[in-house]
């Protein structure tokens, strides 16, 4: 299914990405400036992809929607994610797609029944954005850019009556739990350029993100406020992260930024994946590392005490072990071992540097041990990179703290969606698709909740 029937098409004059600082001029500036003085139907807090999608669902259901965001403009992380090419979703079969969500696959699979990868493409097309499937299966806008899509989306939302309030930083609730349950409105505190405002909302959707890229708005300030209200929040952890290694100064200075191509990485439990990654100043990063980052992170946490964990690299995955052993053992005459490895196996540059970094010096005098190291090179990863700089975060509001409509069991009338929930996924369009899907579920739930409330 799609998120909603198409709202009325917006005029081009409403398509600016930068939202006004209230009460600046705009299609709803007068209403927005006075919102502090009266109740709103539904407050969506967080104007990233999940928040905007929830607003679209609710406005299509006939509710007046007010969206609040702490930043001067909306969709900042969405735009950042699109800098290297806006990866909207993935074109792989549905069963394989759902499996990308690991331990939360069953729950996320339910969200995807509401809004799946095909729906993402249809939704973009209705915004006038054509898409294509790349060779990797990833789905992109034809122009590869995020900004035109966001402009068209904001235009449509404004035309549908959605009111956007920027520079409104949520500060939690004004009063205790006993005053914000049942049919009583949620009294929400916001810091604004004009001082603190209190908004009375009949329903609330929180789409506040996790803890990655806090400079774009996801600073996890919401965690203690929800915990105070009895909401179970799992610790926020780095996801799709790089890892730190104890490189020698030579390795760091000579090879930082160099890609390691056509290798496999194997975890201690036997999980193996082929691809490429990059040597960074601090350790390793890149697509192959991100794909395995959740189990690597969890192994590091399980080991504790700063021990880290080992992964194993096959530097020549297309070569049988016996062929590697034969080539290493081939007489090299007066050639150096570096020249020998380059001429017989094509190992040079950063791969040769990794061998020197990870194997004991005496290994290079033992052809059998060296061949074994080439096929199973041990690399110790010590810790994740800081959560503020990683692609996404894991942890958040535990799904068990929510009902099937993504409403908080401890705080009726408050729904959650997006990255602030306790799930994670690899890169490749899976993150954005699940954010959209969870927002559709929460939007439907909030619409039903509002419809069931007594008329005021």
Q: Which domains does the chain have, with CATH numbers?
A: 38-239+393-452 (3.50.50.60), 243-384 (no CATH)
The dihedral built from the CA positions of residue 119, 120, 124 and 129, taken in this order, carries a sign that is: negative
Q: How distant, in Å, are the alpha carbons of 35, 223, 234, 302 from that of 422?
A: 32, 12, 7, 19
Residue with tokens 């905007």: 52
Q: What is the pLDDT of residue 185?
A: 80
Strand duo 259-266 + 169-173: pairing: unpaired
**Per-residue pLDDT tens digits of the chain, which is 456 residues long:** 333 333 323 332 233 344 333 333 233 333 344 344 458 999 999 999 999 999 999 999 999 999 999 999 999 989 988 787 899 999 999 999 999 999 999 999 999 999 999 999 999 999 999 999 999 999 999 999 999 999 999 999 999 999 999 999 999 999 754 444 456 689 999 999 999 999 999 999 999 999 998 998 899 999 999 999 999 999 999 999 999 999 999 999 999 999 999 999 999 999 999 999 999 999 999 999 999 999 999 999 999 888 999 999 999 999 999 999 999 999 999 999 999 999 999 999 999 999 999 999 999 999 999 999 999 999 999 999 999 999 999 999 999 999 999 999 999 999 999 999 999 999 999 999 999 999 999 999 999 999 999 875
- Give, for 373, the enclosing helix (H) or strand (E): helix 367-375
User: What is d(CA 264, CA 266) in angstroms, rounded to the nearest whole number?
Assistant: 7
Strand partners, 378: 312
Cis peptide before 132 (omega within 30 of 0): no
DSSP string, 29-95: HHHHHHGGGS-EEEEEE--SHHHHHHHHHHHHTT--EEEE-SSSSS-HHHHHHTTT----EE-S-HH
Q: Are 379 and 353 in contact (CB under 8 A)?
A: no
């Amino acid at each position: 299914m799609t998120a909603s029937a198409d709202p009325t098409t917006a005029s081009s004059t409403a398509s600016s990405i930068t939202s006004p600082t209230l009460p600046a001029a705009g299609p709803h500036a007068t209403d927005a400036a006075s919102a502090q003085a009266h109740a709103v139907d539904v407050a969506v807090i967080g104007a990233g992809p999940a928040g905007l999608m929830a607003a679209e669902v609710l406005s299509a259901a006939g509710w007046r929607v007010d969206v609040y965001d702490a930043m001067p403009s909306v969709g900042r992380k969405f735009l950042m994610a699109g800098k290297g090419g806006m990866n909207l979703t993935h074109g792989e079969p549905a069963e394989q797609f759902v499996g990308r969500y690991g331990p939360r696959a069953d729950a996320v699979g339910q969200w995807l029944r509401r809004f799946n990868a095909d729906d993402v493409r249809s939704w973009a097309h209705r915004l006038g954005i054509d898409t294509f499937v790349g060779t990797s299966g990833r789905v992109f806008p034809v122009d590869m850019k995020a900004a035109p899509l966001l402009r068209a989306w904001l235009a449509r939302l404004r035309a549908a009556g959605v009111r956007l309030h920027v520079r409104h930083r949520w500060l939690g609730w004004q009063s205790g739990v006993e005053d914000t349950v049942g049919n009583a409105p949620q009294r929400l505190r916001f810091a604004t350029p004009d001082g603190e405002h209190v908004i009375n909302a009949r329903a609330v959707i929180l789409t506040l993100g996790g803890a990655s890229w806090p400079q774009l708005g996801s600073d996890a300030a919401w965690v203690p406020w929800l915990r105070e209200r009895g909401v179970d929040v799992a610790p926020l952890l780095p996801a799709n992260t790089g890892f730190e290694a104890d490189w020698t100064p030579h390795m760091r200075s000579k090879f930082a930024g160099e890609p390691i191509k056509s290798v496999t990485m194997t975890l201690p439990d036997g999980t193996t994946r082929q691809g490429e990654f990059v040597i960074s100043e601090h350790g390793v990063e890149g697509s192959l590392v991100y794909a395995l980052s959740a189990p690597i992170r969890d192994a590091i946490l399980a080991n504790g005490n700063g021990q880290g964990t080992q992964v194993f690299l096959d530097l020549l995955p297309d070569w049988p072990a016996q062929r590697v052993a034969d080539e290493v053992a081939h007489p090299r005459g007066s050639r150096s071992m570096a020249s020998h490895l380059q001429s017989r196996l094509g190992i040079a540059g950063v791969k040769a540097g990794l061998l020197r970094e990870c194997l004991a010096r005496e290994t290079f005098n033992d052809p059998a041990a060296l061949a074994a190291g080439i096929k199973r090179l041990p690399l110790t990863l010590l810790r994740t990179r800081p959560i503020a700089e990683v692609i996404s975060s894991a942890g958040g509001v535990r799904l068990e703290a929510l009902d099937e409509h993504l409403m908080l069991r401890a705080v009726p009338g408050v729904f959650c969606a997006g990255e602030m929930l306790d799930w994670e996924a690899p890169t490749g369009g899976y993150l954005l698709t699940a954010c959209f899907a969870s927002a559709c579920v929460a939007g439907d739930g909030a619409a039903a909740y509002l419809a069931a409330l007594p008329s005021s």
